[in-house]
Structure 1
C-alpha cells in the first residue's frame, strides 16, 4: 500500500507517546513505517516539517465551534482550555507545538476564531492579535512545565517531591514563600491554569477600545540614485 502523509504523521504521534520527542528521529520513524529514508523524505523533508505537521494534527479537535451563548471572555477561555487539552493529549505535546510556525487549515482556523472572539469584544486588531499571542504563550509555557513534571511512562512518581520544598521553607528563611506555601504546592493544575487565564482576560477587558487605527504597511522605499561626478 502506498504511504500517505497522514500515515507518517499519525505514526509519528504514536511514537511520540511511546518514546518521547528526544527519541523520535527520522530514522526511527522510517523503521517504524518500514520505508527507506528517500520514501519518508518525499512526505516530510526534515524533522522541522514533521513537527509542523504534528502540531497541525494536534489542533484537529480544537476547531469545533464553541458552545452558543458564551460571553467573549468565556469563549476566549474556552479556546485556551482546548489548546491545553490538545497539547496534553500527547507526551511532549507542548514541546512539539512550541517553536512551530504552521500556516495550515486547523491552525489558521483556530487562530482566526480566537482573534475573532477578541475583536467581537471591541478590541483593536493589535490588541486582539497580541492578546491571542499572550494567551497562546501562557498556555504553551504552562503545559510545558506541566508535562515536564509529570510522571514518565512506567514511573510511579513525578520528577518533583514537594517534601523538598516543605523542608526548605520550614527553616523560616523565606517568610513570604512560607506564608504562600499551601498555594505554591497546590496540585490542582486546572485551577491554576484557569487563574492565569482570568488574569490575562482581566487585562484585555481593561484594554482601551479607542486605539488609533493600525498604520498602513510601508511600501518599499525608493532607491537612491547614485551621485554622478560633476
Structure 2
C-alpha cells in the first residue's frame, strides 16, 4: 500500500525550538572573539553566527556594536577585585587595583580601546571608581585632586594596555614569538641611537642601552609608581 504524502508531513519530526538569547550570552560570545582577534573581529554578524542565527536577533538585546563594546568593557571590569578601603594602606591599595586592572585589560587583547575617549559608567566600572576614589580620600587627598588623579591613573593603565595590544598585533604579523621580536627591535633601536651624531644627540647616543632596555612590566611599574608616589605632595592631613 502506498504511503500518503499527507501522512509523511504529519509525522515528520520537527527541529527543536532554539532557546532565546540573552544579553549575557551575547557579551560572553563577543569576549571569546576579542581575546583572540581583537575588537575588529567583533561584529553583530559574527556573533550571530556563533548562535546559528541572524544579526536581527541580537538587536533586541544590544543596540549596536558601540553599546556591545561598552557592555564588554564593563563585564571585564567585574573581573577586577574591589577591596574594602584600608586608610593606612591607601597607596598600596591603589597600586594593587591598577595592576589588577592592567592585567585584566592585557588578557582581552585591545578591548582597552573601547574605554579611551569615553567615560565608563557601567555598574562594575562604577564600583571600581568608587573604591579608588574612597582610597584617595581616606589618604587625605582633596576631592578634586583625588578625582583627577583617579582619571589619570585609569588613563595610564588603559593606554598602556592598548599599546601592548598593538605590539601584540605587530608580533603576530611578524610571525615570530614576542621575546624574539622585542630583542630584535631593541637591538635595531640601540644601533640606531648609537650611530646618531654625537654633537647633536650626545645623551641619546651615550644612553642608548638604557633607552631600549628593561621589560614592559618594569616600565609599567615605574610609570605607575611615579603617578601614585606623586600624590604625597597633595595630602592635606
TM-score normalised by L of structure 1: 0.82
Check the 8 A contact 1:52/1:100 in 2, yes or no.
no
Q: Which of 13, 28, 31 in structure 2 is aligned with 1:10?
A: 28
Aligned residue in 2 for 1:195: 222
Tell me how far apart the structure 2 counterparts of residues 194 and 66 of structure 1 sit (CA, whole Å): 23
Check the 8 A contact 2:81/2:97 in 1, yes or no.
no
Check the 8 A contact 2:90/2:138 in 1, yes or no.
yes
Q: Which is helix-richer, 1 or 2?
A: 2
Query: Can you list the C-alpha shifts for 1:72-107, whole angstroms capped at 9, x where unaligned?
Result: 111111111111011011111322332343322211
Shift of 1:48: 0.8
Tell me how far apart the structure 2 counterparts of residues 17 and 154 of structure 1 sit (CA, whole Å): 19
The runs of 5 or more residues in structure 2 that have no matched partner are 1-18
Aligned residue in 2 for 1:165: 189
Aligned residue in 2 for 1:65: 83
Q: Which of 87, 104, 107 in structure 2 is aligned with 1:89?
A: 107
Aligned residue in 1 for 2:172: 152
Aligned residue in 2 for 1:121: 139
Tell me how far apart the structure 2 counterparts of residues 68 and 124 of structure 1 sit (CA, whole Å): 17
Aligned residue in 2 for 1:175: 202
Summarize the Cα distance change of 1:180–1:146 in structure 2 as closer, same or farther, 3 Å threshold.
farther
Q: Which of 105, 108, 123 in structure 2 is aligned with 1:105?
A: 123
Check the 8 A contact 1:30/1:37 in 2, yes or no.
yes
Aligned with 2:46: secondary structure? helix
Shift of 1:170: 2.1
Check the 8 A contact 2:112/2:162 in 1, yes or no.
yes
Are positions 1:31 and 2:49 aligned together? Answer: yes
TM-score normalised by L of structure 2: 0.80
Are positions 1:204 and 2:231 aligned together? Answer: yes
Query: Can you list the C-alpha shifts for 1:26-58, whole angstroms capped at 9, x where unaligned?
Result: 221222222222210111101110000000011
Shift of 1:132: 0.2
Shift of 1:193: 1.0
Q: Which aligned runs of 4 or more in structure 1 are off by greater than 3 angstroms?
A: 66-70, 157-160
Q: C-alpha root-mean-square deviation of aligned residues, in Å?
A: 2.3
Tell me how far apart the structure 2 counterparts of residues 97 and 152 of structure 1 sit (CA, whole Å): 24
Aligned with 2:66: secondary structure? helix
Deviates more, 1:186-195 or 1:153-162: 153-162
Tell me how far apart the structure 1 counterparts of residues 175 and 86 of structure 2 sit (CA, whole Å): 42
The structure whose Rg is larger is 2
Summarize the Cα distance change of 1:100–1:57 in structure 2 as closer, same or farther, 3 Å threshold.
farther
Check the 8 A contact 1:169/1:177 in 2, yes or no.
yes
Deviates more, 1:194-203 or 1:64-73: 64-73
Tell me how far apart the structure 1 counterparts of residues 224 and 37 of structure 2 sit (CA, whole Å): 31
